[in-house]
Amino acid sequence: MIEALRSIEATPAAPTAPVEDVERALTELGRALDPNISEPSPQSAVLFARALDLFANLKSEPDSLVLAEPLLSVARYAYVSGCALKGLAPARRAVELTRLHGSRSLLCKALSVFGALLADTGNLPVAVEMYAEALETSIELGDSLAEVTVCNNLGAALIYSAQYEDAIACLERVVTLGQGNPELQTARGSALANIALACLHLEDYAKGLRAAKEAVELQDNPTSTAQRLMRVVAETQYTRLLLEVDAPQAARERCELAKRFAANPAWSAHR
């Protein structure tokens, strides 16, 4: 975070700054913002605004693969901080850069992030196209982590489209792939939380409650931003399902837990 703040101070106005300086600054900002590797702080909103400004005011369109990762980091921050619209341009450019330079693994990540932002802003048809390509790429690469990420996102998009049974089938693939793999437990928990939501809409409350309970248990003590977010989502679905089966006291307890995790000081400063 300190290095990123220094980058803000040291980098000249983007229209006149050397490309190398802009790349360096965006890289530092990306590391500080990416929710996968950094915790949010009171400075994150300032860093985010600066990163968007640097990107928007580059002298020419970036054509270096070096910028793909920081652009994706900025896009991820936009997604988790509720600024999906602002993340679309960086994510789209990251997809273009990875296509241009032939990085299949990074393209898969970029497609998945772009799809999530598209879905969050209501463009479900194009989001599903991005996910379909990302899923095909992840299977070709034999990358289980990429595959579960895409399946989770695709499952969520299908829920948005009210295709609940298709969503459950997609999400159950994540549950299967994540079985016994410690690296995939957060993704598995997210899939179970979304299965619970799909079951809520289908009025299959018993299955939904089982999924919600398992999702909560997978993140008994969340430490990262992604884990806390997943726990809040799981507790929310758990609460809704408990209300449907006339268990208000249990629902109240789950709701209080959701509020506690959502009110984490580092996280709540950016919601």
Query: For 124-140, what is each residue's pLDDT tens digit?
Result: 999 999 999 999 999 99
Encode pLDDT of 224-250 as tens digits.
777 888 899 999 999 999 999 999 999
pLDDT band at 14 (very low <50, low <70, confident <90, very high): very low
Q: Does domain 175-271 have CATH number 1.25.40?
A: yes
pLDDT, tens only, 141-191 = 999 889 999 999 999 999 989 999 999 999 999 999 988 888 888 889 999
DSSP string, 106-171: HHHHHHHHHHHHHHHTT-HHHHHHHHHHHHHHHHHHT-HHHHHHHHHHHHHHHHHTT-HHHHHHHH
| Tokens, residue 17 | 């700054």
Share of the chain above pLDDT 70, in %: 88
Which tokens sit at 128?
A: 């599903």
Instruction: Report yes or no: 43 and 1 within 8 Å, Cβ to Cβ.
Output: yes
Average pLDDT of span 110-122? 94
Number of alpha helices (DSSP H) and beta strands (DSSP E) in the chain: 14, 0
Domain ranges for the chain, please list them. Answer: 1-114, 175-271
Q: Are the beta carbons of 39 and 82 closer than 8 angstroms?
A: no
Rounded Cα distance, 149 and 134, in Å: 10
Residue 13 reports pLDDT greater than 80: no
Most distant pair of Cα atoms in the chain: their distance: 63
Q: What is the mean pLDDT of the chain?
A: 85
263, pLDDT greater than 90:
no
Whether 254 contacts 242, CB under 8 Å: yes
Which of 6, 60, 3, 63 has its CA nearest to residue 32?
3
Confidence of residue 51 (pLDDT cuts 50, 70, 90): confident
Q: Select from 119, 115, 55, 62 the least CA-distant residue to 89.
A: 55
CA dihedral 88, 153, 189, 148 (to 10 degrees): -110
Residue 15 in this model has a pLDDT that exceeds 70? no
